[in-house]
Chain A
Amino acid sequence: MIKAILIFNNHGKPRLSKFYEHYSEDTEQQIIRETFHLVSKRDENVCNFLEGGMLIGGSDNKLIYRHYATLYFVFCVDSSESELGILDLIQVFVETLDKCFENVCELDLIFHVDKVHNILAEMVMGGMVLETNMNEIITQVDAQNKMEKSEAGIAGAPARAVSAVKNMNLPEMPRNINIGDISIKVPNLPSFK
C-alpha cells in the first residue's frame, strides 16, 4: 500500500501532498519536512530507496524517490509494494504530467495543483495503484475536464456577463443635451454597479 505521495522542490517547499492514511495537520507537515531532510541528503549515485522516517512508520515503510531537476517525487510505501515497480510508476506519473501540461515544469505544478490531484486520482486510489496506462489516464482526465468546462459554460454565463459589464468603461454622461433649440434633460440613471 502506498502511504503517501509527496512532491517538493529542492528547498523542501511542498508542491503536492497526498496522504492515504490519516495524520493530523501538524504531523503531515512534519512528515514532509522529515522526508525532505532524508531525501535531500542523498548522493546522486546511490540507489533510490531508503527507510522511511520515524513519523511515517520507520523501518516498516520505505521511501522511493526520483529527483527531476528542481523537484523530488517521493512515494512512501510499505513492504507489499515492489520497489522497482514503484520506481516505474513514478516515471509513468511524470510522463503523464508531461503530456497533460506540455513539457511540465515546477510552475505548472504550483499553479495547477488541483489538476495534478485530478491526474493522480486516476492513477492511485486509496493507496493502491489503479491505472498505469498513460493514454487511458489522459483520456479520462480530459473527459472530466470537459465535463467541468461544459458545466461552467452554461452556468457561468451570467457571472461572466455581469463582470464584463461591470468592467465596461462608460464615458461620462452629459447632463443636458443641447442641439440647437432643443434641450433635453437627461434623466438621472442609477449608477450601474
Chain B
Amino acid sequence: MSPSVRLQEMIRVIRSARTQGEERGVIQRECAAIRAQFRQADNGGRSHNLAKLLYVHMLGYPAHFGQMECVRLIASPRYSEKRVGYLGAMMLLDEKQDASLLITNSIKNDLSHSSQYVQSLALCTLACMGSAEMCRDLAPEIDRLLRASNSYIKKKAALCAVHIVRKVPELGELFTPAARSLLSEKNHGVLHGAVVLITELCERNPETLEQFRKTVPDLVQIMKGLVTTGYSPEHNVAGISDPFLQVRILRLLRILGRNNDAASDAMNDLLAQVATNTDSSKTAGSAVLYETVLTVMDIKSESGLRVLAVNILGRFLLNNDRNIRLEPFSPYSASLPPSLPPSPHGFLFLFPLLISSSPLLSRALELSLALVSAVNIRSMMKELLLFLSSCPPELKAQAACGIFNAAERYAPSQRWHIDTILHVLTTAGGDVRDETVPNLIQLITTASDLHCYTVHKLYRALITDISQQSLVQVACWCIGEYGDLLLRGECDEIEPVQVSEDDVLDALETVLQSHMSSPATRGFALTATMKLSTRITDNVDRIRSIVSIYGSCIDVELQQRAVEYNALFKKYDHMRYATSCTSVQLHMKAPSGDFLPARGTATLTQTVLLNNPNKVMLKMRIRMSYTSQGSAFQDTMQIDSFPGPACH
C-alpha cells in the first residue's frame, strides 16, 4: 500500500469537517495518533504518518514533533521512506534546529548512493536547508559530483554548489574549475545550472569575475546556437529555443561585459543578432528581448546597438499582452540608466498614462525624462506639459522638477524657456520647489529683451488667477521691476493691452488682501507696490497709503517691511530710487535634502548665490518654514554683516 492511500483517507475526513472547530478536532485526533505511532518501534506505516503530518503542517497546524521522525526516515534504506523523510526535512527543519545536524551523515552517505534518485534527494535537501557547517562538510562531495556523474546529477550538484557558495562564500574557489568545464556540456539543464553557478561566483568575487571573462566567447557560441537553431521540440517555448537558458546567459554576459571594453566588444554582434531575430509577440520572446535590452544598456555597447535597444522598448509598449506592455515600467525590474539615446519613440513612453497605477506612471515619467534631448525637446515638452495637467497629484512634483531640469538643459530659446516655466506654474504651481521662484526671476532678469513680453504675460496670468503662489510671487516681482514696461502698453511679441496704473495697483492690492495669499506672497506684493512708486507718476499717494496700512499688520514680516518702506518715503525719499533698482540678483540652488534628523546628527545646506555688481550695502532676511512632528514652524533671521563695499 503506498503512503498516499492512508494520506488520502485522512484528507477526505478533514474535508468532510463542516466547521473550523470540527476540522481542528479531527486534526488533533490524527496528530495524537501520529504521535503515538512515532513513539512505537518499527511499524510499516512510518512514511504514511509523516506524509499525513506534512499535510497537516501545510494547513497551519503545529508539526514540530515530527522532526526526529524525519531524521529516522532519512536514515532508512527504503526509497519511499527516504523520499518522505527528506521532504519532511525541507519543510520542518532548518539550520537552527539541532535535528538538522543529525541528517548531515545521512546526506553524506546518500550522496554516494548507487541510485541517482537517492543522490538527488540528498542534493535537493542540502540545497534547500543546508547550514554553513553542513555545506563546509559536504562541499568536496558536491565538487566530486560536479565532475564525474551523469547530467541529471550534475545539474542538481551545480545548484547545490550555488547554495553552498551563498552560505560559505570562501568555498567559491573550490567550485571555480568545475564550473568552467561545465560550460562545454550539451545538456541544457546542466548548462543552466552552470551559468547560474558562474553568475553567483562572479557576483561574489571580482577576481573570479576576471577569470570568467575568458568564457565570453563560449557563452556567445552557446547563445548563437540557441538563437539560430531550428525548431527543437524539447526546449521550445512559444517558438523560442530554451528562453530560460537564454535569459540566464544574457544576464551573465551583462555582468561580464560591464565596464570592460574587450568583453563588451565580443558580445556586440550576438546582442544585435538576438535583438533582431527574436520574436516578441509572446512572453517567452519578450523575456529574452527585455534581458537583451538591459544588457545592452549596461555594458559598453556601441551607440547603434543602444538605439536599437531603446526602439525595442518602444515596441514593447505596442504589444497586445499587458504583461509585456508594462514590463519596462515595472518598478521591480532593473532600472534603465538615467540618460538614454534619443529616439523618435520617446513620447511613446507616455502611452501608459492610461493606466492609473502610480508606480508604473512614475517609471514611465522617469523614462520619458531620460529620453529628452535637444533634438526632441519641443515635441517631448508638449507631451510632458499635457501629462502634468492630467497626472495624479502625487506625481506633479516629480514631473515639474523633471520638466524644469529638461527645460534648463535643452531650451531652444529663452522665450520658450520662460513660457514653459510659466505653463508649469500655472498648472502645478503648488507642487514646485521653493527655489523655482528665485531661479525664474534670475532667468527673467537675464532675458533682457523679453522683459516686456514677460511682464505682460505675467500680468495677464495674475489677473486671471491668484491662487498659485509661485506664479503670483513671480508676477508681483516682475510687475514691481518692469511695471513701466507694462504701463507703456506696447510690446512686440504679444497682443498689447491698455493697462493703467490703477489697474496694476488694483491687482497688487487684491493679492495683498486675498486670503489665498501666503505671507511670502504678500511680502512680494508689498515690495512690488513699493518699487512701483519709483516707476509710476500719478499714484504715489495711493502707494504710500497701502504701505502704511501694513505698518500695523499682524504678520511681523509684513509689518517690518511696511515700516521700513514708510521710512523710505518719509526720511529717505532720495534713496528710494536707489533701493529700488535691480542690481542685486539672487540664485537659489536646491537644498541638499528635505529632511533634517534630530539632535544635530546631520546638516542640511542650501546654497544661495548673491550677485551684487553695484556693491550696494546688503541686508538679507531669511525665513525658514518647516514642519516638526506634524506642526508647522517658521524661523526668521537677519544677516546684516555682509562684506563691505571694499570686497565683492
* Complex contacts, A127 vs chain B, CB 8 Å: 128
Whether the Cβ atoms of A25 and B62 lie closer than 8 Å is yes
* A9 touches B (CB below 8 Å): no
Whether the Cβ atoms of B1 and A14 lie closer than 8 Å is no
Scan A129-160; emit 1 where CB is below 8 A from any B CB, else 0: 11111011000100110011101100110011
Whether the Cβ atoms of A114 and B287 lie closer than 8 Å is no
Interface of A is mostly: helix
Whether the Cβ atoms of A131 and B243 lie closer than 8 Å is no
* Complex contacts, A87 vs chain B, CB 8 Å: 283, 287, 323
Scan B115-151; emit 1 where CB is below 8 A from any A CB, else 0: 1010000011001110000000000000000000000
Q: Which of B404-430 contact A (CB under 8 A)?
A: none
Of A79, A84, A111, A130, the residue contacting B155 (CB under 8 A) is A130
CA distance A73 to B125 in the complex (A): 23
Whether the Cβ atoms of A144 and B290 lie closer than 8 Å is no
Residue of A nearest to B334 (CB): A79
Of B15, B57, B80, B235, the residue contacting A25 (CB under 8 A) is B57
Whether the Cβ atoms of B51 and A114 lie closer than 8 Å is yes
* B54 touches A (CB below 8 Å): yes
Given known pairs A49-B323, A125-B159, the reply for A133 and B234 (CB within 8 Å) is: yes
Scan B44-67; emit 1 where CB is below 8 A from any A CB, else 0: 100000010011011110111000
Whether the Cβ atoms of A83 and B327 lie closer than 8 Å is yes
CB distance from B233 to the nearest CB of A (A): 9
Whether the Cβ atoms of A62 and B11 lie closer than 8 Å is no
CB distance from B632 to the nearest CB of A (A): 30
Scan A68-88; emit 1 where CB is below 8 A from any B CB, else 0: 000000000001001111011
Give the total of B residues in contact with A, Cβ under 8 Å. 76
* Complex contacts, A40 vs chain B, CB 8 Å: none
Stretch at the interface among B185-193, B212-220, B390-398: B185-193
CA distance A111 to B12 in the complex (A): 8
* Complex contacts, A112 vs chain B, CB 8 Å: 4, 8
Whether the Cβ atoms of B94 and A131 lie closer than 8 Å is no
Of B83, B129, B234, B237, the residue contacting A135 (CB under 8 A) is B234
Whether the Cβ atoms of A88 and B83 lie closer than 8 Å is no
Whether the Cβ atoms of B247 and A85 lie closer than 8 Å is yes
CA distance A186 to B163 in the complex (A): 71
* A182 touches B (CB below 8 Å): no
Whether the Cβ atoms of B63 and A125 lie closer than 8 Å is no
Whether the Cβ atoms of B44 and A159 lie closer than 8 Å is yes
Q: Which of A99-147 contact B (CB under 8 A)?
A: 110-115, 117-118, 121, 125-133, 135-136, 140, 143-144, 147
Q: Which of A159-192 contact B (CB under 8 A)?
A: 159-160, 163
Q: How large is the interface on A (under 10, 10 to 19, 20 to 34, 35 or more residues)?
A: 35 or more
CA distance A160 to B5 in the complex (A): 13
Of B12, B84, B238, B244, the residue contacting A85 (CB under 8 A) is B244
Whether the Cβ atoms of A126 and B51 lie closer than 8 Å is no
CB distance from B256 to the nearest CB of A (A): 16
* Complex contacts, A79 vs chain B, CB 8 Å: 332-334
Residue of B nearest to A144 (CB): B117
Residue of B nearest to A81 (CB): B247
Whether the Cβ atoms of A114 and B87 lie closer than 8 Å is yes
Residue of B nearest to A156 (CB): B1
CA distance A62 to B460 in the complex (A): 50
* Complex contacts, B234 vs chain A, CB 8 Å: 133, 135-136
Whether the Cβ atoms of A51 and B332 lie closer than 8 Å is yes
* B526 touches A (CB below 8 Å): no
* B313 touches A (CB below 8 Å): no
Whether the Cβ atoms of A83 and B330 lie closer than 8 Å is yes
Whether the Cβ atoms of A126 and B163 lie closer than 8 Å is yes
Residue of A nearest to B1 (CB): A156
CB distance from B194 to the nearest CB of A (A): 12
Given known pairs A49-B332, A111-B11, A130-B159, the reply for A25 and B63 (CB within 8 Å) is: yes
Q: Which of B336-387 contact A (CB under 8 A)?
A: 357, 359
Residue of A nearest to B289 (CB): A84
* B7 touches A (CB below 8 Å): yes
Q: Which of B210-247 contact A (CB under 8 A)?
A: 234-235, 237-238, 242-244, 247
Whether the Cβ atoms of B189 and A130 lie closer than 8 Å is yes
Whether the Cβ atoms of B333 and A83 lie closer than 8 Å is yes
* B284 touches A (CB below 8 Å): yes
Scan B289-324; emit 1 where CB is below 8 A from any A CB, else 0: 011000000000000000000000000000000111
CB distance from A115 to the nearest CB of B (A): 7
* B517 touches A (CB below 8 Å): no
Whether the Cβ atoms of B4 and A115 lie closer than 8 Å is yes
CA distance A61 to B217 in the complex (A): 33
CB distance from B387 to the nearest CB of A (A): 21
Whether the Cβ atoms of A22 and B96 lie closer than 8 Å is yes
Given known pairs A25-B57, A110-B11, A147-B117, the reply for A126 and B322 (CB within 8 Å) is: no
Whether the Cβ atoms of A88 and B287 lie closer than 8 Å is yes
Scan A17-61; emit 1 where CB is below 8 A from any B CB, else 0: 100101001001100100000000000011111010000000100
* Complex contacts, B193 vs chain A, CB 8 Å: 130
Whether the Cβ atoms of A132 and B322 lie closer than 8 Å is no
Given known pairs A92-B237, A111-B11, A160-B1, the reply for A47 and B291 (CB within 8 Å) is: no
Of A84, A118, A147, the residue contacting B324 (CB under 8 A) is A84
CA distance A32 to B325 in the complex (A): 29
Residue of A nearest to B97 (CB): A22
Whether the Cβ atoms of B244 and A129 lie closer than 8 Å is yes
Of B59, B80, B129, B327, the residue contacting A152 (CB under 8 A) is B80
* A94 touches B (CB below 8 Å): no
* B152 touches A (CB below 8 Å): yes
Residue of B nearest to A117 (CB): B87
Whether the Cβ atoms of B79 and A147 lie closer than 8 Å is yes
CA distance A132 to B189 in the complex (A): 8
Whether the Cβ atoms of A148 and B323 lie closer than 8 Å is no
* Complex contacts, A51 vs chain B, CB 8 Å: 331-332, 359
CA distance A10 to B152 in the complex (A): 37
* B78 touches A (CB below 8 Å): yes
Of B115, B235, B323, the residue contacting A47 (CB under 8 A) is B323
Whether the Cβ atoms of A159 and B1 lie closer than 8 Å is yes
Of B2, B62, B96, the residue contacting A148 (CB under 8 A) is B2
Whether the Cβ atoms of A131 and B155 lie closer than 8 Å is yes
Please name 13 pairs of A and B residues whose Cβ atoms are closer than 8 Å in the assembled complex, sorted by A: A14-B59, A29-B60, A46-B322, A48-B323, A59-B332, A82-B287, A83-B287, A84-B287, A84-B324, A85-B247, A128-B127, A132-B237, A152-B1
Q: Using CB atoms and an 8 Å cutoff, list the residues of chain A in contact with chain B.
A: 14, 16-17, 20, 22, 25, 28-29, 32, 45-49, 51, 59, 62, 79, 82-85, 87-89, 92, 110-115, 117-118, 121, 125-133, 135-136, 140, 143-144, 147-149, 151-152, 155-156, 159-160, 163
Given contacts A88-B243, A160-B1, 17 further A-B contacts (CB under 8 A): A14-B59, A25-B63, A29-B60, A45-B322, A49-B323, A49-B332, A79-B334, A84-B286, A84-B287, A84-B323, A85-B287, A118-B83, A125-B156, A125-B159, A129-B196, A148-B79, A152-B80
* Closest 6 pairs (CB-CB, A-B): A126-B127, A84-B287, A22-B94, A29-B60, A62-B332, A148-B80
